[in-house]
Amino acid sequence: MDDPAPDLSLRDAVAALESLYPLQSAAEWDRVGLVTGDLDQPVRRILFALDPTLDVIDEARTWGADLLVTHHPLLLRGVHSVATTSAKGASVTALVRAQIALWVGHTNADVADPGVSTVLADALGLADQRPLSREGENAIGRVGVLAAPVSLADFADVVATALPATAGGIRVSGDPGAEVRTVAVMGGSGDDRFDDVRASGADVFVTADLRHHPVLEAREEARGGRPFLVDAGHWATESLWLASARERLLSALDHVPGATRVETRVSTIRTEPWTFVVGANAARADRAAPDPGGVS
C-alpha cells in the first residue's frame, strides 16, 4: 500500500546529483556541490532554479522545499561572514534557518552530457553536435548544424522561439539576410571563446553577457562577416537545463528508498535581472541611413 521506507536522505540525493554531475569535472576556480544542509536531513521537496536569490529561497521556503538545486554558486568567492548585513549572508541565514539544503551544479553541469550546452544545442535543433573546445577531459560548448540554412534574421526567431521569453530579448550582430547553418552555442558568458568559435567554422555563435570591446574586436576580426553573434541572455540560455536536471535526478533516484514520495519543481522565477527595455531597434544598424556629420 504505502511506502514503508524512511524519507530520502540528503546524503542519497547528493549522491544521485553527483553521479550525474561529478564534482571533479568542475573547473578549478568553480565552487560546486553542497553549500548548506546536513547529510542526514530528510528530503521531501526539491526545487530547481538558476540562481539562489533571496526570492528563490523564499519560494523554496514557502513551498516547503528542503533541497534547492541551482546552477549558479551562492559562494563562488569565499565568505568570512554570514551576518545578514550582506545579501550573501542573508541568503545563507535564510537557507539555514529554513533548513533548506543548497546544492550547486555549475561548470560540472555545463560539461555534462546531457548538460547545459547540449540542452541548449538540442533546443535549437542542432545535429552532428561536437564540442566547441576541450579543457582536459571536459567538452566546452557545442557546435552543430541546422537542418537547413536560414537567414540570420530567421535564425534569431528560431532562438527566440526555442528559449523562454525575457524582458531583455535577444541581440544580434550581423547581416540579417546572410545565411547561417553551422551554429556554435555556449550557455552563459561566452566572450572569452571567440578564438574557438572562429576555429570551429561556425556561421553564428549563440551565447550571452557580451560586452562592447570583445564583441567589437570579434566583429573586426570577422571583417563584419561570419561568425555572427547572438546574445540570447544568460538566464535564457541556461534555464532550459533545469527541466533536464530534474528529470535526470528523478531517474537516478528511481530505486532509492523513500524517493518515490519526493516532489520536485522548477522555479517559476525568472532571475534575469532586466525588468524592461526601451528603444530597442530605434536605430537598427541594418537599416540606418548615415547621419550627415557636422563639418566646421
State which of positions 198-237 bind a copy of itself (CB under 8 A). Answer: 208-213, 215-217, 219-221, 223-224, 229, 231, 234-235
Q: Is 4 left (phi over 0), alpha (psi -120 to 50) or beta?
A: alpha
Rounded Cα distance between 108 and 33, Å, is: 10
Contacting residue, 15, 23, 27, 82, with a copy of itself by CB under 8 A: 82
What lies within 8 Å, CB to CB, of 120 at 6+ separation is: 142, 185, 187, 206, 237, 238, 240, 241
User: Which residues lie across from 9 on neighbouring strands?
Assistant: 42
CB 222 to a copy of itself: min, Å: 8
State yes or no: residue 174 binds a copy of itself (CB under 8 A). Answer: yes
- H or E stretch including 236? helix 234-239
CB 36 to a copy of itself: min, Å: 6
C-alpha cell at 138: 571536459
C-alpha dihedral over 229, 124, 113, 65, to 10 degrees? Answer: 100
Q: Residue 4 or residue 294: which is nearer to a copy of itself going by CB? A: 294
Q: Residue 124 or residue 262: which is nearer to a copy of itself going by CB? A: 262
What lies within 8 Å, CB to CB, of 205 at 6+ separation is: 183, 184, 185, 186, 190, 193, 194, 197, 227, 228, 229, 230
Contact call for residues 277 and 80 (beta carbons, < 8 A)? no
- Cβ neighbours around 107 below 10 Å, total: 24
Give residue 258's Cα distance to chain centre: 30
Contacting residue, 13, 35, 140, 197, with a copy of itself by CB under 8 A: 35
Q: Residue 118 or residue 271: which is nearer to a copy of itself going by CB? A: 271
State yes or no: residue 268 binds a copy of itself (CB under 8 A). Answer: yes
The stretch among 118-126, 134-142, 193-201, 277-285 that binds a copy of itself (CB under 8 A) is 277-285
Residues 142 to 161 in contact with a copy of itself, rule: CB under 8 A: 153, 156-157, 159-160
Residues 105 to 134 in contact with a copy of itself, rule: CB under 8 A: none
State yes or no: residue 33 binds a copy of itself (CB under 8 A). Answer: yes
Contact call for residues 192 and 296 (beta carbons, < 8 A)? no
State yes or no: residue 24 binds a copy of itself (CB under 8 A). Answer: no
Residue count, binding to a copy of itself (CB under 8 A): 109
**Pattern 47-66, binding to a copy of itself, x per CB under 8 A?**
----x-xxx-----------
Residues 238 to 257 in contact with a copy of itself, rule: CB under 8 A: 243, 246, 250
CB 128 to a copy of itself: min, Å: 26
Contact call for residues 94 and 65 (beta carbons, < 8 A)? no
The stretch among 20-28, 123-131, 138-146, 278-286 that binds a copy of itself (CB under 8 A) is 278-286
Q: Residue 147 or residue 295: which is nearer to a copy of itself going by CB? A: 295
State yes or no: residue 34 binds a copy of itself (CB under 8 A). Answer: yes
